[in-house]
Structure 1
Amino acid sequence: MSGTNRAVDPQHQPVTHEAPDLPVPEMPAAYGTVAPPTETDREPAAAPPRPVSQRGPLGSQADGMAAIRAVWERAGESERHRPAGPGRPRRRREPRRLAPALLGILVCACLLMFFAWTAAPALWISVGHAHTGTVHVTSCQDGFAPSCTGLFQTDAWSKELHLTGEVDPGDLGSELPARATGPGSHSAYVGGTAGLLLRWAPSLVLLTATAFALVGCSGATRLYEGRSQAIGLCWAAAGAVLAVALGFAW
C-alpha cells in the first residue's frame, strides 16, 4: 500500500534493549550504611594553570645568586657589629714572649721615673709648697742643655742647688729671686708661675702615656686569666713611681 497507510515492516523497526531491573545487593550491617554522594565528596574542579614566567634559566640563576650574596653580606655585617656575649667565645691572642715583655717593662719604668722626677718639684711649688729666697749664680755650662748652679739662701737655711727655669749663662754672678721646696730639695726654680705649669703639665701627660705603653708592652692585655689584675698592677706601678718622686721632692 502507498501513502500514510503503508504498513511498517517489522524488520525495519528499531530494537531497544532495556536493562532488566536487577535487585541492588545490600551491604552487610558490619560495614554500615552507604550514604549517597554529597557535593563535598565530588572531585574539586581543576585550578586554572599558572602563568609561566617568561624569564630564561640564566636570569633566574643570576637573581638567585644576587639574593644569596645580599643575605651573606648582611649576615657578615651583623656578625661584626654583634657584641660578644657571655657565652660567645672571644678570639684570643698569643701571650707576649718573656724577653720583649721584660725589655718593654724596663724601658717604660725608666721613662716613668724620669717624667715623675721632672714634674714633682714644679708641681709642689705650683701648689704653694715652696720656700722663697734668692740665689747667687755661681757657675753655668753651655751646650745642648745648658745648666747653672747657685747658692740658694733663705732666712733659715742656705744650700748649693741646681737652677731651673729662666736662667742662662748670661746671669753668671748675679742674684735672682728663686723658690725651692725645702732644705732637702736638689733644685731651685727661677721664674714665674707660667713656667712652672709648662714644666709639670707636659711631664704628667707623658707619664700617663708611658703608663699606657707599659700596659701594652708588658702583655697584660693578652693574658687569658687575671687580665684586669695585671692591667691594674701596671697602673698602680706608675702611680707608685709618681708618689715616690713627690715624696723625695718634698
Structure 2
Amino acid sequence: MVPGPDDSPVEVEPTTGAPVDAVPSRVPVRQPRGLRADPDPGTTGDGELFWPPIEQVHWDGTPLREEPKRPERTSTAPARTRAPRAAHPPDPVRGLAALLALSLLAAFFAWVSAGPFWLAVGHATGGTVVITDCAGSGLTQRCRGIFAADQGRFLAHGVRVSGVPGERSTPGTTLPARMTGAGDDTAYVDTGAGGHLRWLLGLLVVAGCGAGIARWTGATRLPDPRHRRRATLAAHAGPALITLGFLLAAW
C-alpha cells in the first residue's frame, strides 16, 4: 500500500506496482508442470498459482507464445544471364555482297538527292523550261526539255524535267523551273513540300544503307567495344562520303 495524493491508501498491482485501477485486470495462470517456476522459499509448490512477469503475458494474463519461424523461400529458378555476344565473324561472301549492294543503293539515292538538296537550301538558278517530249504517266513519267536561265545566263538543251504535272506534259508547254547550275542535267518544276521530300527521303535511305552495312558485315557483332565502335563508324562513313561526293558534283 502506498499513500495517494490525499493520504488515503491505494491498492497496487503486485507484479508491476502500479495502482490496480490503472492497469488491465489479469487472471493468474496455472503453469504446466514442465514450465512451472521454482517456488519461493517457504511456499508450497503443488497447485500454487503463479503470477508471471507482465512482459511474458498478454493483457488478460495469457502467456506469450513464441511464433514459429517461417522458412525463407529460396528461388530455385536459375538466374538469367545475358548471352555473350557472338564472336565469330559472319559469312564473308554474304557480307561482301551486302556491302556492294547497299553501297550501290546509297550511291543512287545520294545522286538523286543532291540536286533537290541544293535547291532546298537556296543554291539554284531560276528560269523557264519548254517541254519537248514526255513519255509515260504518274511515277513512270519521263520528260525532256530546253531550259533557259533568267537574264540569258545560259541555255541547256535536252535536260531532264522533273515534277511536270500530268495535264501540262504536252510538248511545247512552257513552265517555270530551276537548276543548280549550267552543268546540271535536270530542271526541277515542282516546289514546296514535294521538293523537300525528294532530298529528305533520299538521305534517310542513305543513312539506312549505312546501318545495313554495319549490320550485315558484322561490325556490330565484334566482341571488343572499341573495335565495334570503329567498325560501325566506318560502315556509316562510306555512304556519307558517297553523298558528299555527289553534293560537291551537283554544286
Query: Per the shorter chain, which TM-score range?
Result: 0.5 to 0.7
* Residue pair 1:148, 1:167 contacting (<8 A) in 2 also: no
**Matched residues in 2 for 1:116 and 1:140: separation?**
25
Post-superposition Cα deviations, 1:133-169, rounded to whole Å, max 9, x if no partner, equal 0001011111661100100011210112101013447
Q: 2:146 aligned with 1:151, yes or no?
A: yes
**Matched residues in 2 for 1:166 and 1:139: separation?**
11
Gaps of 5+ in 2: 1-33, 36-64
Post-superposition Cα deviations, 1:5-39, rounded to whole Å, max 9, x if no partner, equal xxxxxxxxxxxxxxxxxxxxxxxxxxxxxxxxxxx
Residue identity matched to 2:140: A
After TM superposition, the structure 1 = structure 2 runs for residues 166-205 of structure 1, keeping only pairs within 5 Å, are 166-168=164-166, 170-205=169-204
**Matched residues in 2 for 1:91 and 1:112: separation?**
29
**Matched residues in 2 for 1:167 and 1:185: separation?**
21
Post-superposition Cα deviations, 1:60-119, rounded to whole Å, max 9, x if no partner, equal xxx98x934xx233x625x45xxxxxxxx9433421111000000011001101111121
* Displacement of 1:210: 1.5
Q: Would the alpha carbon gap of residues 191 and 91 (structure 1) be closer, same or farther in structure 2, given more than 3 Å must change?
A: closer
Q: 2:83 aligned with 1:76, yes or no?
A: no
Residue of structure 1 equivalent to 2:104 = 110
Residue identity matched to 2:183: G
**Identity of aligned pairs, percent?**
30
* Displacement of 1:218: 1.3
Q: 2:235 aligned with 1:234, yes or no?
A: yes
**Matched residues in 2 for 1:191 and 1:162: separation?**
13
Aligned match of 2:113 in 90, 115, 119? 119
* Residue pair 2:107, 2:243 contacting (<8 A) in 1 also: yes
Larger CA Rg, structure 1 vs 2 = 1
Q: Would the alpha carbon gap of residues 109 and 91 (structure 1) be closer, same or farther in structure 2, given more than 3 Å must change?
A: closer
**Matched residues in 1 for 2:107 and 2:242: separation?**
6
Residue of structure 1 equivalent to 2:220 = 221
**Matched residues in 2 for 1:187 and 1:176: separation?**
14
Q: How many residues align?
A: 180
Instruction: Single out whichever of 112-121 and 215-224 deviates more from structure 2.
Output: 215-224
Higher helix share: 1
Gaps of 5+ in 1: 1-46, 52-62, 81-88
Aligned match of 1:164 in 155, 162, 165? 162
**Matched residues in 2 for 1:170 and 1:178: separation?**
14
Residue identity matched to 1:245: F
**Matched residues in 2 for 1:232 and 1:162: separation?**
36
